[in-house]
Amino acid sequence: MSNFIFGRYLPLNSVVHRLDPRAKLLLSFCYIVLVFMANNPVSYLIIIAFTLGSILASKISLGFFLKGIRPLIWLIVFTVVLQLLFSPAGGHVYFHWAFINITQFGLVNSGYIFIRFLLIIMMSTLLTLSTQPLDIATGLASLMKPLRWVRVPVDTLAMMLSIALRFVPTLMDEANKIMNAQRARGVDFGEGGLLKQAKSLIPLMVPLFMSAFNRAEDLSTAMEARGYQDSEHRSQYRILTWQRRDTITWIIFVVAFAAILATRRW
């Protein structure tokens, strides 16, 4: 019922691990566009080569990536079967009954969807496995900076994000303690129907909310006692620097993107 994994960073010494988190974040966002662009075997081969190259460069075993796919396996199977059975007519018809059509077009498309799922999940898993949660947060806060022009309080949001990430493990421990205490009183988490399971989580939620708020009070008092002021001119402990390897990675990505644009069916 609960899955206490938050951030699955694997500390290894690889070029992917050493990349600037901003470079990796932007790459993972743009990678989805790259996958959108592919629509024929050659363009898919280019993306597969780029993805496998990135995985090899990270020195992370392929088993970790397969674990990343496991939680989404039902969605993948459901979507692929749906595509296979209900795709519009096209090419050779292998099977036809009522509104169910298994065609050559459907088979090819479900194959593409399966590959697309695998690629997107693998690349997202690579980001999580090769980047520490705090680095992701720092990178994200840095990427949000241009939003200051439209008066988004980026620094305040970055501060909230730092507080949130700092307290996730604490609140998870708290949740574990509360769950154990409730179990000792006879609460069966994860047993029974949907409504019963939902009901069983309420005795967990209320103390968790209160605990979070009590911690917020203590922390805000401590921050104010140390002279905290919400302003744009706060210094930072973690400073990110864009290196040559980040530029080279981006050049490889742009080349792969150009190759896909050149080979895709327009």
Partner 1 sequence: MTVETRLPKLSTLSLVTMGLLMALQLVIKSFSVGPAFLKFSFTFLVAALVARLFGPWWGMMTAAVVDVIGTLMSGGPFFIGFTISAVLGSLIYALFLYGKPVSWPRLIIAQVIISVVVNAFLNTLWVAIMYKTPFWGLFPVRLLKQVIMTPIQVVLLYALFKSQMVNLIQKRLNL
Answer for the pair 215, 222: CB distance below 8 angstroms, yes or no: no
Q: For residue 255, give every residue at least 6 positions away whose Cβ sits within 8 Å of its Cβ, in sequence order, or none.
A: none
Q: Which residue lies nearer to partner 1 by CB, 164 or 248?
A: 164
Site membership for partner 1, residue 14 (CB under 8 A): no
Binds partner 1 by CB under 8 A, chosen from 52, 93, 100, 206? 206
* Closest separation in Å from C-beta 3 to partner 1: 5
Give the range of 12-20, 44-52, 197-205, 240-248 binding partner 1 by CB under 8 A.
197-205
Phi, psi dihedrals of residue 210, rounded to the nearest 5°: -65, -40
Task: Kindly state whether residue 167 participates in binding partner 1, applying the rule CB under 8 A.
Answer: yes
What does the radius of gyration of the chain's CA atoms come to, in whole angstroms?
A: 24
**Spatial separation of the C-alpha atoms in residues 191 and 187, rounded to whole Å:** 9
Nearer to partner 1, 11 or 244 (CB): 11
Q: Does 161 bind partner 1 (CB under 8 A)?
A: yes
Considering only 125, 138, 142, 249, the residue that binds partner 1 (CB under 8 A) is 125
Q: Is 103 helix (H, G, I), strand (E, B) or coil?
A: strand
Q: What is the largest CA-CA distance in the chain?
A: 74
Among 26, 37, 66, 223, binds partner 1 (CB under 8 A): 223
Nearest approach, Cβ of 239 to partner 1 (angstroms)? 20
Q: Whole-number minimum distance, CB 192 to partner 1, in Å? A: 10
Judged by CB under 8 A, the chain residues 26 through 65 that form the site for partner 1 are: 28-29, 32
Q: How far apart are CA 45 and CA 126, in angstroms?
A: 19
DSSP-assigned letters across all residues of 107-133: HHHHHHHHHHHHHHHHHHHHHHHHS-H
Q: Which residues in 69-108 contact partner 1 (CB under 8 A)? A: 72, 74, 78-79, 82-83, 86-87
Binding-site size, partner 1 (CB under 8 A): 82
- Decide: is 116 part of the binding site for partner 1 (CB under 8 A): yes
User: Which residue pairs from 193-202 have beta carbons closer than 8 angstroms and sit at least 24 positions apart in sequence?
Assistant: 197/1
